[in-house]
Amino acid sequence: MNAGKTLFAQLMDFLPWSTFDRIVARYDGNRSVRKMPCAVQYQVMAFAQLTYRESLRDIEVCLSAQSAKLYHMGFREPVRRSTLADANETRDWRIYAEFAQRLIAQARRLYIGDNLGVDLTNTVYALDSTTIDLCLSVFPWAHFRATKAAVKVHTLLDLRGNIPSFIHISDGKMHDVHALDMLLPEPGAIYVMDRGYIDFARLHVLQQAGAFFVTRAKSNLDAHRVYSSPSDRATGVIADQTIALDGVKTGKDYPLHLRRVRFRDAETQKTLVFLTNLTELPALTICGLYKSRWQVELFFKWIKQHLRIKQFYGTSENAVKTQIWIAVSMYVLIAIMRKRLNLEPSLYTLLQVISVTIFEKMPLLTAFSRETDIPADADVDNQLNLFNF
């Protein structure tokens, strides 16, 4: 079935191209396009992500060196860097954003039964953002500071499978808390956030929608204890309290009681204070939920190291957003392929294998069955544990 197909072509077969064509038609993406329609642009950019290409020239040279195999990869003509640059500047980035969201929906369905590490049936999300620094003179539209440019990637990560369920790309000046305004709260879901997202009016919106949250308390929290529940200090839980907010503004913004859990980490000897509207779960489970928020930090670290979202092939806002969304869709595509083929290796290992065998004509399963196991004493970064599902 895969005779004559390169690994790249087989990987592209996992994509729902009929859905992609409908999205392109909706945005009129191929209007007046003579060369490199949106599907070809997407494939070329996907190739660049999977093989860690550094620049447009790098992409062109690499594909030219394998010109005899381009047809079997799905390319009908040579790829020119000027044509790709024009496509990245002019094709609407929303095409690739919407397509990535369709892939995310597929991936979440595949990973819905994965173990969360906490005995809960609720969907648990981790909300955070990462900043990608840019040069102000090259990216003047990405305002951040007086002498610096940046873009922020605001991400809501579904901790079952570590699949991003929501992504928003903004300039560096957008405060994290405004990402809460863009979410549609899911009743029964748990949102885990750091202190940068504390805004009691917005947290009350989550409460009214039937959603739950876990966050860290700020040191200047103005509140008083209403009731204290018994706690076992041997577990690290110093206090488990019900509190009411005393601030004039905060008391109006969140007129209900909150739960405050004070926890002392035995390893670091740090005392952490958590705020939540979850009243039924054990205090240790609240602490465990906040600890799971670290997965979104590892997600950011991983995509920055293993995908091309720190060096861009274009300088316009459209080109930058196009590249980031295609990078996200490649991350999700590898996760989908891994689940559908029941592959054991981590996403990191799969990407490494694909990057060096992408021009080969062999079944996908054959390529991954030949990958050598990483020695037990190998120096593997902590972030790779994120994908050892």
**SS3 assignment for the chain:** CCCCCCHHHHHHCCCCHHHHHHHHHHCCCCCCCCCCCHHHHHHHHHHHHHCCCCCHHHHHHHHHHCHHHHHHHCCCCCCCHHHHHHHHHHCCHHHHHHHHHHHHHHHHHHCCCCCCCCCCCCCEEEEEEEEEEECCCCCCCCEEECCEEEEEEEEEEECCCCEEEEEEEEECCCCHHHHHHHCCCCCCCEEECCHHHCCHHHHHHHHHCCCEEEEECCCCCCEEEEEEECCCHHHCEEEEEEEEECCHHHHHHCCCCEEEEEEECCCCCCEEEEEECCCCCCHHHHHHHHHCCHHHHHHHHHHHHHCCCCCCCCCCHHHHHHHHHHHHHHHHHHHHHHHHCCCCCCHHHHHHHHHHHCCCCCCHHHHHHCCCCCCCCCCCCHHHHHHCC
- Of 103, 136, 60, 23, the closest CA to residue 313 belongs to 60
| Domain ranges for the chain | 7-96+310-384
Its pTM stands at 0.86
Per-residue pLDDT of the chain (389 residues; tens, 9 = 90+): 455 688 999 999 999 999 999 999 999 999 888 888 999 999 999 999 999 898 999 999 999 888 888 887 878 888 899 999 999 999 999 999 999 999 999 999 998 887 776 778 889 999 999 999 999 899 999 989 888 899 999 999 999 888 999 999 998 899 999 999 999 999 999 999 999 999 999 999 999 999 999 999 998 899 999 999 888 888 889 999 999 999 899 999 999 999 999 999 888 889 999 999 999 999 999 999 999 898 899 899 888 888 888 889 999 999 999 999 999 999 999 999 999 999 888 888 888 889 888 888 888 888 887 544 444 344 444 444 444 43
Could you tell me if 204 and 254 are in contact, meaning their C-beta atoms sit under 8 angstroms apart? Answer: yes
Strands 223-229 and 212-216: unpaired
| Residue 215 amino acid letter | T
Q: What's the rounded Cα separation, in Å, for the pair 236 and 286?
A: 12
Query: What is the rounded CA–CA span in Å between residue 254 and residue 207?
Result: 9
Distance CA 158, CA 295 (A): 10
Burial class (CB in 10 A: 0-12, 13-18, 19+), 368: buried
Q: Which residues contact 159 (CB under 8 A, 6 or more apart)?
A: 116, 124, 125, 126, 292, 295
Torsion of CA 55, 9, 103, 131, to 10 degrees: -20
